[in-house]
A and B are shown apart, each in its own frame.
Chain A
């Protein structure tokens, strides 16, 4: 399997990319062919991602499946790929969410049938960008794919998204699309400047991550440029106070895009903070850890409180994402293996959970055409499967033992308590607030008397149910048996922590 091992990462980027381009030349009327083939392509991606996940040698650790092509010698840019214990779960996550996202999008663009093609073209470009970030070991290409993942968002949201009616005012989908786009691109300004600074300061004429790891950056340099990575990538991770694009953007986006964006793209931000910030500028990380942990805990509590105040079901999920990403940031900033490991697991767990949430909200909205918690009542009677899945996602979200969120959040809390007991306590308060809004939501929207206007609703289709079930399997599986995930993650986290704390 040597040939596969050394090409699998390249294939993960090239396949969605090539498929996106190929789709552009399909006749717009061939909807069935396009979605069947797209599902097949995404299944292939899932299989390759699973292969990476299962084939990664945890004992050897380090970067594996590496591959390198020369690209632009004069700037020292090479298309260099490899994965470690942190990126492998992310690659797997991308595979899962992509596959389920395609299934959920089976009837996308029903009102504009000829536009379905455009949707899948952009969707697969997005997927190529996401994979690219997780497997790149070259700063240029990491940034290249990072931008590529942002590029299709405007059209995906603006064309296929949905506007939110707040009664007093309407928040059009174009608003969400533009806000998301400008926030993310503004964040990438900082990232770009910081990457160039690292390149110049490194003085080696290369963008290679592995080479730059060996460079020594002065403490002053690290102090100035670490926050650029932290905030620049933090915008995408939903870092408070730069999170406001996230609820608006995710609510406006079509279901599969919300799934991929909240599920995977927000992880790109978190991943960028550790892969570039922590790895290249460890002293900077150490100095700024306190700020990061404070901002992170504000994310947790503020996101939870904001979620409690929402009437729109999708905004609840949007703010809960902000809240849950806070645990990831807090976990990073604890700078111990417990907290960091929990944070990476939380990235995986939250990715699956939030994808499930958005899939469910999308299924409800498709049928009821409203998302107002005040109007939706007693859906269990007509949408049993959907409600059951929603309960699982909700219970994961509030950290019920036996589901993946519990393991991840518990580890983050323990990690935080070691050095920052107050932060740890606040984190638990955040989880308690989450319990309040989730349980209230479950009680009101799903379990309770059904109002006559919802008698006509139908349950999720088999296809929807199937894709949601895949997500549920991972939530439960990781919750009951987190061992393989934790071994994998720790093999990636340990060397990273050594760089920061071992200094």
Chain B
């Protein structure tokens, strides 16, 4: 076995321990080097992954760990995302949190967890990777230890997360009990010999797995933790939760459903359709009533999970492309939106929607960036959100779910309303405080980059779509079958 194939994972583990270790020897003033050190580590892993694993299609441990374009794509995705989260965190951590060493170290462990999730070819490996991610996030969510809300969020997240893990594990054991295997390709082989409709015990296992993963992506009715956790967690971690852990869970879901459960498509499609319809509708409707911008973004992200689940429910090569493309577009956009919230919070210690009143007069460019992000989230052109949504919805319509697409589009209109309420505050209400909001060079630069990303992706998505097609090509085995 060629352990060199594990190089990126080894390296990021080393980098994480490196950051933790070096932290011990740094004086308080020098701790500002830590994020840059983490960034260097992530960049190194990024370069190594792309240069060393490019085009390789193999596996380790007898199919437990897969090295293909799909896992490579998500490795790159998570590393870029991780780097952005580190950049977004710098000012916030300096101002509001203590112990930066552990913060960045644990962040890197969670990235490792995500990378493993996208690469696992077997249920238990997937489960353990998911737990690595979850445990890192439990710590990070409660990192604001002097902030009661953060502590509350941490407890809530741990309890419900553990519950979800139990469901997932129970589902896995049920599937193993019925089919005698946990490897994706063997499950698919076994399922194709199963009669249809499916054996109820197997269906229960499948439903429990869906429920467990549903918790992780905050699908309705398993979304109850999301708003509280999003509100309480340090905002960079909220952004990370909203983008990273969701993307990782969807990477796993895509691989699991296309490589393992595809032969039983007719049995589980309806579960996902119902889940998608509920998730998008509830998420967007409840978002209407929010006053805290982080809670609003939390519910809006629940709504987006609904669209993504719709893509999974219409699973096909185009639909998988659509899901990943939307994940990417939504990721960039959401990071930009949260970064605006972070910048604003760093300067004012406020995060209610009403506090954004008059921002267009105080800081026109910040207001413009937030407007661009919100319009992109609402799916208006010429921003990333439009094309990614259009792609995803087209794919779902092609998959025969035109009515669900109709519901999704109606939901987009609902979402536009609450995004507009923020924009209204910024542009039409008089400012409560005077003077510009202080934007550091770093935050401003990253924000500019993200906004540029939103626009570039919105008008020229071709290259990204090509990369995504390369990635999904690796998991969609039924193309030839």
**Which A residues contact B (CB, under 8 angstroms)?**
24, 28, 71-75, 114-115, 118, 140, 143-145, 147-148, 150-151, 154-155, 158-159, 174, 178, 181-182, 185-186, 189, 192-193, 196-197, 199-200
A178 and B420 contact, Cβ closer than 8 Å, known pairs A140-B390, A159-B428: yes
Q: Which residues of B contact A24 (CB under 8 A)?
A: 368
A192 and B402 contact, Cβ closer than 8 Å, known pairs A151-B375, A182-B417: no
> By the criterion CB–CB under 8 Å, are A155 and B397 in contact?
no
Can you list 7 A-B contacts with CB-CB less than 8 angstroms, sorted by A residue number? Answer: A28-B364, A72-B461, A75-B394, A114-B361, A158-B424, A189-B406, A189-B413
CA distance A144 to B406 in the complex (A): 17
> By the criterion CB–CB under 8 Å, are A196 and B382 in contact?
no
CA distance A144 to B397 in the complex (A): 18
Least CB distance, A108 to chain B, in whole angstroms: 15
> By the criterion CB–CB under 8 Å, are B405 and A154 in contact?
no
Q: In this assembly, does B391 line the interface, its C-beta being within 8 Å of a C-beta of chain A?
A: yes
Q: Which residues of A contact B406 (CB under 8 A)?
A: 189, 193
> By the criterion CB–CB under 8 Å, are B427 and A200 in contact?
no
CA distance A59 to B340 in the complex (A): 56
> By the criterion CB–CB under 8 Å, are A72 and B462 in contact?
yes
A199 and B423 contact, Cβ closer than 8 Å, known pairs A71-B462, A182-B417: no
Q: Which interface residue of B360, B420, B427 has the most chain A CB atoms within 10 A?
A: B420
Interface size on B, residues (CB 8 A): 37
Q: In this assembly, does B78 line the interface, its C-beta being within 8 Å of a C-beta of chain A?
A: no
CA distance A261 to B274 in the complex (A): 40
CA distance A447 to B465 in the complex (A): 64
Nearest 6 Cβ contacts at the A-B interface: A196-B397, A189-B409, A144-B381, A148-B381, A151-B380, A193-B406
Q: Which residue of B lies closest to A158 (CB)?
A: B428
> By the criterion CB–CB under 8 Å, are A192 and B462 in contact?
no
Residue in contact with B402 in the complex, picked from A114, A115, A147, A197, CB distance below 8 Å: A197
> By the criterion CB–CB under 8 Å, are B416 and A181 in contact?
yes
Q: In this assembly, does B469 line the interface, its C-beta being within 8 Å of a C-beta of chain A?
A: yes
Least CB distance, B436 to chain A, in whole angstroms: 12
CA distance A24 to B372 in the complex (A): 13
Q: Which residue of A lies closest to B409 (CB)?
A: A189
Q: Which residue of B lies closest to A192 (CB)?
A: B409
CA distance A86 to B301 in the complex (A): 43
Which residues in window 362-420 of B have CB below 8 A to A?
A: 364, 368, 371, 375, 380-382, 386-387, 390-391, 393-394, 397-398, 402, 405-406, 409-410, 412-413, 416-417, 420
Least CB distance, A75 to chain B, in whole angstroms: 6
Q: Which residues of A contact B398 (CB under 8 A)?
A: 199-200
Q: Which residues of B contact A140 (CB under 8 A)?
A: 390
A144 and B465 contact, Cβ closer than 8 Å, known pairs A75-B394, A181-B420: no
> By the criterion CB–CB under 8 Å, are A197 and B397 in contact?
yes
Extra inter-chain contacts (10) besides given A147-B381, A196-B405, CB under 8 Å? A115-B360, A144-B381, A147-B380, A148-B381, A150-B380, A151-B381, A185-B412, A185-B416, A189-B410, A196-B394
A200 and B413 contact, Cβ closer than 8 Å, known pairs A151-B381, A158-B427, A178-B420: no
Least CB distance, B246 to chain A, in whole angstroms: 24
Q: Which residues of A contact B416 (CB under 8 A)?
A: 181-182, 185
Q: Which residue of B lies closest to A205 (CB)?
A: B398
> By the criterion CB–CB under 8 Å, are A74 and B321 in contact?
yes
CA distance A114 to B364 in the complex (A): 10
CA distance A158 to B318 in the complex (A): 40
Q: Which residues of A contact B462 (CB under 8 A)?
A: 71-73
> By the criterion CB–CB under 8 Å, are A75 and B397 in contact?
no
Q: Which residues of A contact B461 (CB under 8 A)?
A: 72
Q: Which residues of A contact B424 (CB under 8 A)?
A: 158, 174
Q: Which residues of A contact B423 (CB under 8 A)?
A: 154-155
CA distance A118 to B465 in the complex (A): 33
Q: Which residues of B contact A73 (CB under 8 A)?
A: 462
Least CB distance, B25 to chain A, in whole angstroms: 45
Residue in contact with B428 in the complex, picked from A174, A186, A189, CB distance below 8 Å: A174
Least CB distance, A186 to chain B, in whole angstroms: 6
Residue in contact with A200 in the complex, picked from B391, B397, B409, CB distance below 8 Å: B397
CA distance A186 to B371 in the complex (A): 20
Least CB distance, A69 to chain B, in whole angstroms: 11
Q: Which residue of B lies closest to A70 (CB)?
A: B462
CA distance A73 to B461 in the complex (A): 11
> By the criterion CB–CB under 8 Å, are A145 and B381 in contact?
yes
Q: Which residues of A contact B393 (CB under 8 A)?
A: 192, 196
Q: Which residues of A contact B382 (CB under 8 A)?
A: 144, 148
CA distance A18 to B177 in the complex (A): 61
Which residues in window 221-264 of B have CB below 8 A to A?
A: none
CA distance A197 to B394 in the complex (A): 9
Q: Which residues of B contact A144 (CB under 8 A)?
A: 381-382, 386
Q: Which residues of A contact B371 (CB under 8 A)?
A: 155
Q: Which residues of A contact B375 (CB under 8 A)?
A: 151
CA distance A181 to B423 in the complex (A): 13
Q: Which residue of B lies closest to A148 (CB)?
A: B381
> By the criterion CB–CB under 8 Å, are B409 and A74 in contact?
no
Least CB distance, B17 to chain A, in whole angstroms: 42
Q: Which residue of B lies closest to A149 (CB)?
A: B381
> By the criterion CB–CB under 8 Å, are A193 and B381 in contact?
no
Residue in contact with B386 in the complex, picked from A147, A182, A189, A199, CB distance below 8 Å: A147
CA distance A185 to B394 in the complex (A): 18
> By the criterion CB–CB under 8 Å, are B428 and A200 in contact?
no
> By the criterion CB–CB under 8 Å, are B409 and A193 in contact?
yes
Q: Which residues of A contact B318 (CB under 8 A)?
A: 74-75
Least CB distance, A46 to chain B, in whole angstroms: 24
